[in-house]
A and B are shown apart, each in its own frame.
Chain A
Amino acid sequence: NAGVMQNPRHLVRRRGQEARLRCSPMKGHSHVYWYRQLPEEGLKFMVYLQKENIIDESGMPKERFSAEFPKEGPSILRIQQVVRGDSAAYFCASSPPGQKHSGNTIYFGEGSWLTVV
């Protein structure tokens, strides 16, 4: 059973370009979460999605950032017009439906490292 799959693992973008990060949750999981980890900082919640719905995007910057989780295909975190401050590791996590959100039922992917030059 494959884990949470993220790609690309590493992405380099010039300022002003767009970055698209993809996340395929574990099989059977329908809840997806995106966290951002800035250098030397802890992970910070960005957004929580279920299939075709954004449940909570309170941790996501209001501008340039968007997320989706379509009926088919992976969840995508999109960053438009990237700036140097967007350089970070972006972690996706998933959990199965119908269970309380707890530490032993949320699984992290290996992260996508975005570098803006």
Chain B
Amino acid sequence: EDKVVQSPLSLVVHEGDTVTLNCSYEVTNFRSLLWYKQEKKAPTFLFMLTSSGIEKKSGRLSSILDKKELFSILNITATQTGDSAVYLCAVTSGTYKYIFGTGTRLKVLA
């Protein structure tokens, strides 16, 4: 059965810290891996990764995919309170279905 596992489940850090969120997957016919940020409303798209070893970067956020070891990481540097959210990882398997992990709940303290 296809599955996506995220770790840690939750994380509390202080402003300025750097965090690394993990996402591992088992899926047939892998197509792409996506990261979303969810703040009690619509998940907002962060990154889509399809190739191994190519870092995607947006401001303080970056992500990379390892298709051999079947995982991805999302890094957030110099965290701010506005980064507090649930970060969702999802994998598509060549169809329109996204398989989501349960998310990592990040809380950044001032």
Residues of chain A having any CB pair with chain B under 8 Å: 3-4, 31, 33, 35, 40-45, 48, 55-56, 59, 91, 101-104, 106-111
Once the chains bind, are A41 and B102 in contact (CB under 8 Å)?
yes
Residues of chain B having any CB pair with chain A under 8 Å: 4, 32, 34, 41-45, 47-48, 88, 90, 92, 95-103
What are the nearest 8 A-B pairs in CB distance?
A42-B100, A103-B48, A103-B34, A101-B96, A108-B42, A43-B100, A110-B41, A110-B42
Once the chains bind, are A48 and B100 in contact (CB under 8 Å)?
no
Which residue of B is nearest A33, CB measured?
B96
Once the chains bind, are A111 and B41 in contact (CB under 8 Å)?
yes
Q: Name 20 extra pairs, CB < 8 A, besides A101-B96, A111-B41.
A: A4-B42, A35-B98, A35-B100, A40-B102, A42-B4, A42-B100, A42-B102, A43-B43, A43-B88, A44-B100, A56-B96, A56-B97, A101-B92, A101-B95, A102-B92, A104-B45, A104-B48, A106-B45, A106-B98, A108-B44
Write out the residue numbers on chain A whose beta carbons fall within 8 Å of the beta carbon of B47. 103
Interface centre among B41, B42, B47 (most CB of A within 10 A): B42
CA distance A82 to B32 in the complex (A): 35
Write out the residue numbers on chain B whose beta carbons fall within 8 Å of the beta carbon of A48. 96-97
Chain A's nearest CB lies how many Å from the CB of B27? Answer: 13
> Can you give 29 A-B contacts (C-beta < 8 A)?
A4-B42, A35-B98, A35-B100, A40-B102, A42-B4, A42-B88, A42-B100, A42-B102, A43-B90, A43-B98, A44-B100, A45-B97, A48-B96, A59-B97, A91-B43, A101-B92, A101-B95, A101-B96, A102-B48, A103-B32, A103-B47, A103-B48, A103-B90, A104-B48, A106-B45, A107-B42, A108-B44, A110-B42, A111-B42
Which residue of B is nearest A3, CB measured?
B42
